Amino acid sequence: MAKFFRFSLKGDNLDPDKINDLLDMPCTVYHKNDIVIKEINGKEHFLKQKTNRLVYSTECSDNKRTDGFLSENLEIVYSIMKKVRPYLNSDGLDIVIELIIYTDKKARICINKHQADLISKIGARIDIVFP
């Protein structure tokens, strides 16, 4: 089972370079109108960025529980938001957390009270995907 966690700050008024400079972690910065090459179904696609974005992503080893992986990364994102919130203009800002799980078996996940509280404090939308 492969598990990925992705946190995105998106918005036209976001200065992703300034936010990235505040953080001591590997993030990817995209600017509005940048062209990004993505491989989808074995073909290269050229995608134009619709807005400024800062993305933090990580993956999980198979032996780690999904709920522990989610909790660990929500704590990281919560600490990020405490640092960067003063620099964010909430006008048009979208905060998205994605948990992506690839599995060939039946899978389920429960969000506990602590995780739900962190998501609320972060002010994010969370997407959980089983592609």
What pLDDT does 111 receive? 86
CA distances in angstroms from 85 to 47, 72, 82, 88, 128, listed in the order given: 29, 20, 6, 5, 24
Taking the domains of the chain in order of start, what are their residue ranges? 2-129
* pLDDT band at residue 117 under the 50/70/90 scheme: very high
Kindly state the tokens that stand for 57: 């992503």
Across the strands, what pairs with 111?
none
Among 67, 62, 125, 65, which residue's Cα sits nearest to residue 98? 125
Q: CA–CA separation, 108 vs 97, rounded Å?
A: 18
Q: CA–CA separation, 75 vs 130, rounded Å?
A: 22
CATH topology of domain 2-129: Alpha-Beta Plaits (3.30.70)
Q: Quick one: average pLDDT of 99-127?
A: 84
Please provide the size of the chain in residues.
Answer: 131
Can you give the pTM of this predicted structure? 0.80
For the cut 80, the answer to whether the pLDDT of residue 38 exceeds it is yes
